[in-house]
Chains A and B, each alone.
Chain A
Amino acid sequence: MSTQPAIRLSGLTKTFGSVTAVAGVDLDIAPGEFFSMLGPSGSGKTTVLRMIAGFETPTSGTVELFGKDVTSDAPFDRDVNTVFQDYALFPHMSVLENVAYGLRVRGVGKAGRESAAKDALSLVRLDGYGDRKPSQLSGGQRQRVALARALVVEPKVLLLDEPLGALDLKLREQMQVELKEIQRRLGITFIFVTHDQEEALTLSDRIAVFNEGNIVQLGTAEEVYRHPKTTFVANFVGTSAVFSADEAKAVLGHSGACAIRPEHLEIVRGKTPSDSVTLKGKVAETIFLGASTRIIVDLDAGKRVAVLEQNDLAQTEATIGESVTVAVHKKFLAPLT
Chain B
Amino acid sequence: MKLTLPSRIVLGIVAAVTLAFIYVPIVIVVLNSFSTSKNLTWPPPGFTTEWWVKAFTNEAALAAVSTSVTVAFAATAIALLLGTALSFALHRFTFFGKSTVNLLVVLPIALPGIVTGIALNNAFRTMLGLQLGWLTIIVAHATFCVVTVFNNVFARLRRVGTSLEEASSDLGAGIWTTFRLVTFPQIRSALFAGGLLSFALSFDEIIVTTFTAGSGVQTLPIFILENMFRPNQAPIVAVVAVVMILIAIVPIYLAQRLTSSDSSR
Binding site for B on A (CB under 8 A): 53-55, 74-76, 80-82, 84, 86, 88-92, 101-102, 104-106, 135, 149-150, 153
Contacts of B168 in A (CB 8 A): 90, 101, 105
Cβ-closest 6 pairs across A and B: A102-B171, A88-B167, A105-B173, A88-B163, A75-B169, A92-B185
CB of B166 closer than 8 Å to a CB of A: yes
CB of B177 closer than 8 Å to a CB of A: yes
Q: Who on chain B is nearest to A102 by CB?
A: B171
- Check B172 against A153 for contact (C-beta < 8 Å): yes
- Check B163 against A86 for contact (C-beta < 8 Å): yes
- Check A76 against B174 for contact (C-beta < 8 Å): yes
Q: Give chain B interface residues in 167-215, CB to chain A under 8 Å.
A: 167-174, 177, 181-182, 185-186
- Check B171 against A88 for contact (C-beta < 8 Å): no
Q: Who on chain B is nearest to A97 by CB?
A: B181
Q: Give chain B interface residues in 138-176, CB to chain A under 8 Å.
A: 163-164, 166-174
Contacts of A153 in B (CB 8 A): 171-172
Q: Who on chain B is nearest to A91 by CB?
A: B265
Contacts of A80 in B (CB 8 A): 170
Considering residues B166, B167, B174, B186, which has the most beta carbons from chain A within 10 angstroms of its beta carbon?
A: B167
Contacts of A86 in B (CB 8 A): 163
- Check B167 against A105 for contact (C-beta < 8 Å): no
Contacts of B166 in A (CB 8 A): 53, 55, 75, 82, 84, 88
- Check B265 against A82 for contact (C-beta < 8 Å): no
Q: Who on chain B is nearest to A85 by CB?
A: B163
Docked complex Cα distance between A104 and B173 (Å): 9
Docked complex Cα distance between A88 and B169 (Å): 12
Binding site for A on B (CB under 8 A): 163-164, 166-174, 177, 181-182, 185-186, 265
Contacts of B170 in A (CB 8 A): 53-55, 75-76, 80-82, 150
Distance to closest chain A CB from B175 (angstroms): 8
Q: Who on chain B is nearest to A81 by CB?
A: B170
Docked complex Cα distance between A76 and B46 (Å): 72
Docked complex Cα distance between A75 and B174 (Å): 9
- Check A106 against B172 for contact (C-beta < 8 Å): yes
- Check B186 against A92 for contact (C-beta < 8 Å): yes
Known: A105-B171, A105-B172. 11 other contacts (CB 8 A): A53-B166, A75-B170, A76-B171, A86-B163, A88-B166, A88-B167, A90-B182, A101-B168, A102-B171, A105-B181, A149-B167
- Check A76 against B265 for contact (C-beta < 8 Å): no
Considering residues B163, B168, B172, which has the most beta carbons from chain A within 10 angstroms of its beta carbon?
A: B172
- Check A76 against B172 for contact (C-beta < 8 Å): yes
Instruction: List 26 interface pairs A-B (beta carbons < 8 Å), by A numbering.
Output: A53-B166, A54-B169, A74-B169, A75-B169, A76-B170, A76-B171, A76-B173, A76-B174, A80-B170, A82-B166, A82-B170, A84-B166, A88-B163, A89-B167, A90-B167, A90-B182, A90-B185, A104-B181, A105-B171, A105-B172, A105-B173, A105-B174, A105-B177, A150-B170, A150-B171, A153-B171
Contacts of A53 in B (CB 8 A): 166, 170
Q: Who on chain A is nearest to B165 by CB?
A: A88
Q: Who on chain B is nearest to A80 by CB?
A: B170
- Check A101 against B171 for contact (C-beta < 8 Å): yes
Among B167, B174, B185, B265, which residue has its beta carbon within 8 angstroms of that of A84?
B167
Q: Who on chain B is nearest to A86 by CB?
A: B163
Q: A105-B177, A105-B181, A135-B265 are in contact. Are A90 and B164 (CB under 8 A)?
A: yes
Docked complex Cα distance between A253 and B163 (Å): 55
Contacts of B173 in A (CB 8 A): 76, 101, 105
- Check A88 against B164 for contact (C-beta < 8 Å): yes
Docked complex Cα distance between A228 and B174 (Å): 44
Docked complex Cα distance between A149 and B182 (Å): 15
Contacts of B172 in A (CB 8 A): 76, 102, 105-106, 153
Distance to closest chain B CB from A61 (angstroms): 21
Q: Who on chain B is nearest to A75 by CB?
A: B169
Contacts of A88 in B (CB 8 A): 163-164, 166-167
Docked complex Cα distance between A149 and B170 (Å): 11
Distance to closest chain A CB from B171 (angstroms): 4
Docked complex Cα distance between A53 and B170 (Å): 7
Distance to closest chain A CB from B31 (angstroms): 46
Q: Who on chain A is nearest to B177 by CB?
A: A105
Docked complex Cα distance between A80 and B265 (Å): 31
- Check A81 against B169 for contact (C-beta < 8 Å): no
- Check A149 against B265 for contact (C-beta < 8 Å): no
Docked complex Cα distance between A91 and B264 (Å): 12
Distance to closest chain B CB from A330 (angstroms): 50
Docked complex Cα distance between A80 and B182 (Å): 20
Contacts of A74 in B (CB 8 A): 169
Contacts of B164 in A (CB 8 A): 88, 90-91
Distance to closest chain A CB from B149 (angstroms): 21
Considering residues A84, A90, A150, which has the most beta carbons from chain B within 10 angstroms of its beta carbon?
A: A90
Distance to closest chain B CB from A108 (angstroms): 11
Distance to closest chain A CB from B28 (angstroms): 45
Q: Who on chain A is nearest to B185 by CB?
A: A92
Docked complex Cα distance between A18 and B252 (Å): 49
- Check A81 against B171 for contact (C-beta < 8 Å): yes
Distance to closest chain B CB from A82 (angstroms): 5
Docked complex Cα distance between A163 and B178 (Å): 23
Docked complex Cα distance between A266 and B181 (Å): 61
Docked complex Cα distance between A81 and B163 (Å): 14
Distance to closest chain B CB from A49 (angstroms): 11
Docked complex Cα distance between A106 and B171 (Å): 9
